[in-house]
Chains A and B, each alone.
Chain A
């Protein structure tokens, strides 16, 4: 698995408070990487640094072997797109206008609407099934439609790497699955590389090829979900006792937190029907 993005001895801090220290990370090309961890473990901070929105205190982020802060701002924007957790849009902006703004790094003062711009926007609208919404105002849409529109904007940027900070927050279950399926399709069908921060460990296990578990600003474990997720890791990373069984639908690890009120009646209770582990 060739790596596309790498963090090397990365130390990140806000106003003196170190959030990430000496972190090593490799993001495989053409795969979905999910970053998981407890609140405050440095997930979003790491993602911002990968998108060069946060300058490392020490260490570097390498894109295809080149240090991000050595590359021109616009050059990075052509190769690497990020969708923050709660992006803001001007009142009343329509979907097509929003998506078109993703073309910024490819445009010039006198070349603002090339045939390629138009094709990229149409492609992004089609991939996210937002073509029918193109004339609708963003603030009139449902949460799922709005998130798809934002993803379409990031897609129109036509970057090899897509970084997404909790793309499923605020969405109901159906819309969460819809967005994650879309990302999986982008990776499989279009060869993009996706890195996303996810809150839900089980969704991360289902959709990610490569899982990175952060703990206190360090990579605690990284690898295929089935290889690294077990009860011990969940306890160490999230600080909660859990049972890990096989997801009866996908076969990926499924984490069932125990908590104080839900101790299993029998220590070795039967696994769910059909699951073996």
Chain B
């Protein structure tokens, strides 16, 4: 791996270092995401031409087209993009905090907490509300995050302990989900399974807004803490030697990552593998582990991944829809196996 050419940008008191390879990766991903976004809005059972999409977006389309574009496809595509961004950032932060490239919110129980709450609500109350289920998932994820941090705390939270405690918590929550599923009636259980797979079907503006508001609130905080994340990558001792209050920075970053995973899962269900794989793609593209490059590129990779997976799931066997979580798992599982194989090889030599 090697970083690209670095240029300095300096105007007055402002200065920044820009890696051209990161800029190129980001530009490519954003362009691809825009293309996939337009395709998501245009393609489907009722194809809409790009000209009509643009007209509808400008408020000049006919009523039927406007309904398809505005009420059905646009919020769904936006949910995909925003959930992907949130998962990409959350995965990167969790992997850096845990010092472990196999970590993701699914692995350490955050997603499990959301699942248990959502499935519990669906099965026991028979409710499948567009508001109540996401809210339950959000709370489940946030509570799990807090419990996880508390359990892993022993005069500070260290990566290894976070992973071990997280795996334990995840196993317990999954057992809880299985238990709930065995207790339910067949109809509710079927509903719960649809949620558990991770699906963007029927996502409307009520799903977009919470995601958008959370991202608007948390992205500047992430930006603020990126320098500290870079210092924490060198271990607590060096981070503190460099003037970072390590424990406070870690709590801040953990909270951000938990919040981002929680809103993403709340809006789209537990979409498998995206939070895990987006940081890997980003590190490859950037040729470095510096969070200044990896975070934005992972965000863009996550958005593209969810968007393309959802589009593929919708179109491949149309009119039957494959939920986005299944497509991401199919796309990402081979890469996961490749990583494990490589890790085994490295471990063997």
Contact = CB atoms under 8 A, between A and B. Distances in A.
Interface of A: 48, 51-53, 73-78, 80-82, 84, 87-94, 96-98, 100-102, 104-105, 107, 109-115, 117-118, 135-137, 157
A93 B224 contact: no
B305 to A, nearest CB: 22
Given A84-B235, A94-B2, A113-B15, A53 B240 contact: yes
B244 interface: yes
A81 B243 CA distance: 10
Contacts of B238: 82, 84, 87
Contacts of B240: 52-53, 73
Given A84-B237, A92-B1, A113 B242 contact: no
5 contacts: A80-B241, A87-B238, A88-B99, A92-B283, A104-B230
B78 to A, nearest CB: 29
B235 A77 contact: no
Contacts of A110: 13-16
B316 to A, nearest CB: 36
Given A89-B233, A100-B17, A113-B15, A135 B242 contact: no
Given A111-B13, A112-B227, A104 B244 contact: yes
A88 B235 contact: yes
A100 to B, nearest CB: 7
Given A107-B227, A113-B17, A77 B242 contact: yes
A117 B245 CA distance: 22
Given A92-B288, A100-B17, A117-B15, 18 more contacts: A48-B237, A73-B240, A77-B241, A82-B241, A84-B238, A87-B237, A90-B233, A91-B101, A97-B288, A101-B234, A101-B242, A104-B231, A104-B243, A111-B14, A112-B15, A113-B15, A114-B10, A137-B1
Contacts of A101: 230-231, 234, 242
B3 A76 contact: no
A51 B15 contact: no
A200 to B, nearest CB: 23
B8 A113 contact: yes
A104 B14 contact: no
B216 interface: no
A153 to B, nearest CB: 8
Top 7 nearest A-B pairs (CB, nearest first) are A77-B243, A74-B243, A113-B17, A90-B289, A105-B243, A104-B242, A92-B1
Contacts of A92: 1, 283, 288-289
Nearest to B237: A84
A74 B240 CA distance: 9
A87 to B, nearest CB: 6
Contacts of B51: none
B290 interface: yes
Contacts of A52: 240
Contacts of B237: 48, 53, 82, 84, 87
A91 B17 CA distance: 21
A78 B243 contact: yes
A48 B237 CA distance: 9
Contacts of B241: 51, 53, 77, 80-82, 84
A6 B234 CA distance: 28
B58 interface: no
Contacts of A136: 2
A118 B9 CA distance: 12
Contacts of A111: 13-15
Contacts of A53: 237, 240-241
Contact of B2 (A104, A105, A135): A135
Contacts of A104: 227, 230-231, 242-244
